[in-house]
Every structure is written in structure tokens, then in C-alpha cells.
Structure 1
Amino acid sequence: MKRIIITAAVAALTLPATAHAHPGHPTTPTAPVVNPVYDDGWQQRAPIAGGPRQEHSVAAIGRHVYVVGGIRPDGSGGVVTVPDVEVYDTRADTWRKVAPLPVPMNHPNVVALGGKLYVLGGLSGGASWQALGDSFVYHPATDRWTALPPMPQGVERGSAAMGVHGTRVYLAGGMRTLTPGPGGLQDTVADVHSYDVLTRRWTTLPSLPEARDHVGGAFVGGTFYVLGGRDRGQINVRDTVYAFAGGRWTERAPMPTPRGGIASAVVGTKIYTFGGEGKVVNGVNTVFSETEAYDTRRNRWEKLAPMPIPRHGTAAVGVGDTIHIPGGGNRGGGAPMDVNDAYRPR
């Protein structure tokens, strides 16, 4: 394995701490929501207080779910990348704002570890979103972000599959460029790296068998799973499941429904996947409603009750025995919503 040692001082931030409008990224009006069915483990929770959000990330510290970055409508037919961070109290069913990211990001790579939030790069920019290497750690006790050494050159990307094991954060796949619109560049990568939060060292690991972005990721036991996703475009969805253990990747039982733009979370030894994008209906890119769970012990999948409001470009996290899924879009492309649902497996 190639080990990248970071010893340099923290670099200056590459973007100002202001929102970035993207007039070339039109929003798609959200689809009408007609009588969503909340049963079979689904619950409707308080909507995101700050309004619609999409292409964000989430992580949980205790009973609190943090919604980090993303995009929202800019009020003039486009979208804006935001630094906003909101916290959902899963017990009280309430929202509050905390200190924003120092740099606005969409598709940020976010995990919780040791009672802190780590953000290791993401995407932002103008008409074409580009990878940022800016990295930060958030301290809930002081409500402050601290800059970390940036990601090494060539490692930067957003929309990676994320996992945590011990003191190391794992990133698999992702994308370096996302240009929305027909024929827009989507630079998907197969790179895999880990970052040790104690030593602040990056390690290069064996690449994924195929490039992936907008993909599910999770550790169960000592194995890192990468599920579904897409390769260079919204409709180029994949059903593959890769598992990393013992320094190598192996292929596991495929997803019943190939999907990209999914949300994923762990309860027990199962990985639950929700929604996604790339379902082509009459030539139009639409959104999946599927909820499917992967049993890591038995290496098999099961289909579960669909999402009451199908979405993509969202994220999920387990708190106890319940999975929380705030935001996302219910039409292909940018269609941010403030929906906040919870799913409790039965």
C-alpha cells in the first residue's frame, strides 16, 4: 500500500465562506406528493426547518442527526450550494441550526467519529461542480469547525462511499467533476483511500473493481461494503456490491434493483438502501421508491416497504433501531425537498 504522509501546514481555503449560485443548474419542480402511505415501519417527522435540501450528507452523534451542506433552490430557477448545517433531535422531533461549514459544499464526504464530525472534501463551483480538498472537523461542545490538512492532490472528490473503522475514515469511489445537463462531464473514480484522524495520514488502498459515485457505503464488523451507485452518468446505474476485507475486494450478491443516488444506513448486521435516481420511464430519468436490505451474514437481499415519498440525492443514518432520511429530490436532477422521514425495520 502506498502511504501518503501529510506534514505541511493547513493550506488556505480555496473558496470563500459564502454560498455559490449555479445559474446553469436549473431546478426541476418537485413532483406533486399525493397521499403518501406511512406504514410498515415508515414515519413522517418534522420537515427540515431551513427548507428544501438535496445532495447533502448526514451523520449522527448520539440522538442528533446532522445535515451538512448540499444544494437548495435559489429563488430564480436555479440552485445554490450552501454551507448550512442543521441538527435534528430524533427524540424531540425538532431542528436547530449550528455553525455552518467554512466552505459551501455539495456531495460532501461526511462521517461522525469520536463525538465529532469530519468533512473530507466535496464538490462546489460554478456551472460545473469541481472537487474540493478542503477538510474540517466539527466540535459540538464548542459549535466550531477546525480546518484539517487538505486532501492530498489527486485524492480530492465528492460523493464517495464512506465508512469508519477504528480511527480511520474510508472513502471509496466518488467523482471529481459533475456538470449537470445532457452530455455533461461526470468524472467517476475507482480510487479508495483511508484517513487516520489521529495521525492525519492518508493511505492509498486497492481500487474498486469498477468506478462508482452516488453509491452506498458502510462498515459492518471489519468489512467495508460499497453498494450500487453509478458510473459517469445518472442513468448508468449499477447493482454491484463490493466488500473490502483483508486488503482485497470481493463481489457479493447484487442488489435486486440497480440504482444510483441512493441513501444507505446500517441497523444491526443489515445495510438498508433507499430510493435513488436513474429509473428511465418513457425516456425520462425518474426516481426509485425501492427500499432493499442487504443481510451481510447471509449474503442476500430482501425487498421492503417502499419510500412514501421516493427521493434521490439524499442521505440516511441509523440512530438506535431507526433510520433517518432527511431531504432529497423526488424528480430526476435538482428538485430539493424538506421532507424528513424515518424508517424502523421490523
Structure 2
Amino acid sequence: MPDLVAIASPGRRRQIIIRSAASCSPLGGALARAGILVLPAPPPGRREGSPAGEGTTNMGLQPPQGSCRGGVPWGAWGTVCTALCCADGLVYALGGMGPDTAPQAQVRVYEPRQDCWLSLPSMPTPCYGASTFLHGNKIYVLGGRQGKLPVTAFEAFDLEARTWTRHPSLPSRRAFAGCAMAEGSVFSLGGLQQPGPHNFYSRPHFVNTVETFDLEHGSWTKLPRGLRMRDKRADFVVGALGGHIVAVGGLGNQPCPLGSAEGFSLARRRWEVLPTMPTARCSCSSLQAGPRLFVIGGVAQGPSQAVEALCLRDGV
């Protein structure tokens, strides 16, 4: 369960990606100076509606649906690998892995001014570790996992109507893929390719696949081999930065995490080498702020406390 959550300031829209942030404590002061709220997660066993620091011995307590009495319900934090997204100063937590390791479909929204969580309509497809991004008044949820199986679902939650819409599924079965959006298209990159349901002899393998979804026309396109990423990678950081779709770090066929970075130029329609990340790692959190993509924590040879940023401006 994460013990640190970075939230965009009220009134600003920003996607956030958070895994375990225990290794990210050096970033707390920098986030505060940048106007980003740092919210500590409640300790296990905290009662719904209880003030900070007050606990309970009833570890099985689950708050009622839609409860909000000034506290953070413990039930909202009963999952790990939850996908997070910010919209207008609110934090949305989607899915996750429950205490029994089963994928969850629950959706919660955190209201900082009232300091409480509210329940929202559940996702059509339970999953954890999904990619999320905000576009207009919708939160899009892409991929994720159910146990060892990758999820190909692509779904959108309308923040105003509070309803879910299903979009065409991902063409390929890939776990630990990266996702970003630019110029009206969703980019799904890389990952660990899983064998199809009728291919029992193939093994999972790293890929450099690039698939794009046109939001206007509602269709997927698999880019040709010449437009695939330079490196095969999974469990990496992705962002839309300076006119590029950026891929940083992750795991590949090498015996240790990757430090390489590359960007797909939207203007030149090609992948280009970017400066290598000083600390090679995977399983990182990330936060995009202006022209900078912060890569936070993760795993190098062991848990990493590195906080490094890639700066890439338009036209570079």
C-alpha cells in the first residue's frame, strides 16, 4: 500500500502514476514547493471518519458505499497496484488488487477539501496496474492485469454523467505496457507479450510494439516494424513531452534494468535516442510537470531513492 500520494493542486489537471512511494521521501519537500499536495495514506485499520492517527483493532471493517464523514475510509486503501488519475483537484483511484490478490473493479474519488473518499460506479472490467489518462471530461483506463493474465480492455469514465463506456480492446495481449496520449491518439507501447489462447508453446517475451487508438474514429492501428520502439522494454515510464512520446527505463532482455530513453517525434514520425537516465531502473513512479518528466523511485539493483527528470521542449 503506498504511503505517499502526489496530487495536482486544485483547479489543475494532471495525470499521476503512483506505485509504492516509500523510496520517494526525498521528493516530498520539492513537491510541496511546486504547489503539489503530498497526502499520507491512512495507517492500516483506521476507522472511517476517524481523525488522523486514530486507529481500530477491527481490521475487517469496511465503510458503507458512498460514505463521507470527514475522514479517509480504510476501505479505500484496501488495495494495491491501484491506477490513479487527477481531475480538477480530485484524485480518482481505479481498480487494484484486493487483500485476497483478486483484481478489483471499485472506483473511489478523494475530495481534499472535505478530506474524504466517495464511491463511484465500478469499472466494467476488474483489473490492477492499468494505465490511466485524462482527456476532456473522461478518464480512460487501458490494459492492466488479472493475476498473470494481461487485460486488453479499454474503457472510459465520464466524470459528468458518471457512466462507463467500452472502447475496442487492445489488439495484442501485453502486460506491463506503457501508455500516453498526444494529438488525439492513444499510444500503447512495449510490454511483455503473452501467448494467445490457442498458442500453448509460446513464452512471454519483451516487445517494442506500438499500437495507436484514434479517439475520433474509434479504431486501433498497429504501426509497422519501422516505427516500433528502438528497445524492447516493459515496466517503464511513458510520457508525452516536447512533441514526443517518451519511453524511459524499464526491463528488457538485458540482465539488469534499462537506463535508455527514446522519444517518438510526432512531427518527424520516427523514434530518436534521448539522453540516458542516470540511474537505470524499472517499476518507477512518474510525474509530469511542464517540460519535465520526473522519474521517481523504482528498482535498480534494489529499491531506489533516485529522483531524476527528463527535460524536453517543443521543437527539440
Query: Aligned partners of 1:217 and 1:344: how far apart in 2?
Result: 19
Aligned-residue CA RMSD (Å): 3.2
Partner of 2:137: 167
1:198 aligns with 2:167: no
After superposition, the Cα gap between the structure-2 partners of 1:306 and 1:105, relative to the gap in structure 1 and judged at 3 Å, is farther
Deviation at residue 170 of structure 1 after TM alignment:
1.3
Q: Secondary structure at the match of 1:125?
A: coil
Deviation at residue 72 of structure 1 after TM alignment:
5.8
1:92 aligns with 2:33: yes
Q: Deviations along 1:111-132, whole A, 9 cap, x unmatched?
A: 1122222111122435xx3311
Q: Deviations along 1:266-306, whole A, 9 cap, x unmatched?
A: 2243121111113343xxxx211111111223321111111
For structure 2, the residue ranges without an aligned partner over 5 or more in a row are 43-73, 196-202
**What amino acid maps onto 1:243 in structure 2?**
T
Contact kept in structure 1, 2:14 and 2:87, CA below 8 Å: no
Contact kept in structure 2, 1:64 and 1:87, CA below 8 Å: no
* Larger RCO, structures 1/2 (Cα 8 Å, 6+ apart): 1
Deviation at residue 231 of structure 1 after TM alignment:
2.8
Query: Aligned partners of 2:38 and 2:170: how far apart in 1?
Result: 38
After superposition, the Cα gap between the structure-2 partners of 1:105 and 1:272, relative to the gap in structure 1 and judged at 3 Å, is farther
Contact kept in structure 2, 1:294 and 1:300, CA below 8 Å: yes
Query: Larger radius of gyration, structure 1 or 2?
Result: 2
**What amino acid maps onto 1:255 in structure 2?**
M
Q: How does 1:273-292 map to 2 (within 5 A)?
A: 273-281=247-255, 286-292=256-262
When structure 1 is superposed on structure 2, of 288-297 and 225-234 the one drifting more is: 225-234
Contact kept in structure 2, 1:87 and 1:98, CA below 8 Å: no
Contact kept in structure 2, 1:66 and 1:87, CA below 8 Å: no
Percent identity among equivalent residues?
26
2:113 aligned residue (141, 154, 161): 141
Contact kept in structure 2, 1:237 and 1:258, CA below 8 Å: yes
1:131 aligns with 2:103: yes
Q: Secondary structure at the match of 2:308?
A: strand
1:255 aligns with 2:229: yes
Q: TM-score, normalised by structure 1?
A: 0.67
Contact kept in structure 1, 2:287 and 2:293, CA below 8 Å: yes
Partner of 1:70: 20
1:340 aligns with 2:301: no
**What amino acid maps onto 1:259 in structure 2?**
R
Q: How does 1:322-341 map to 2 (within 5 A)?
A: 322-331=292-301, 335-341=302-308
**What amino acid maps onto 2:33 in structure 1?**
A
How many residues align? The count is 264
Q: Secondary structure at the match of 2:285?
A: coil
**What amino acid maps onto 1:70 in structure 2?**
S
Contact kept in structure 1, 2:138 and 2:157, CA below 8 Å: yes
Q: Please identify which structure carries the higher helix content.
A: 2
After superposition, the Cα gap between the structure-2 partners of 1:88 and 1:237, relative to the gap in structure 1 and judged at 3 Å, is farther
2:178 aligned residue (197, 216, 221): 216
After superposition, the Cα gap between the structure-2 partners of 1:87 and 1:199, relative to the gap in structure 1 and judged at 3 Å, is farther
Deviation at residue 173 of structure 1 after TM alignment:
1.6
Q: How does 1:293-332 map to 2 (within 5 A)?
A: 293-331=263-301
Q: Deviations along 1:210-245, whole A, 9 cap, x unmatched?
A: 012222112212111111122349962111111111
Q: TM-score, normalised by structure 2?
A: 0.73
Deviation at residue 149 of structure 1 after TM alignment:
2.4
Partner of 2:209: 240
After superposition, the Cα gap between the structure-2 partners of 1:116 and 1:268, relative to the gap in structure 1 and judged at 3 Å, is farther
Q: Deviations along 1:177-232, whole A, 9 cap, x unmatched?
A: 1xxxxxxxx11122211111221211111111101222211221211111112234
Q: Secondary structure at the match of 1:278?
A: coil
Q: Secondary structure at the match of 2:205?
A: coil
**What amino acid maps onto 1:342 in structure 2?**
A
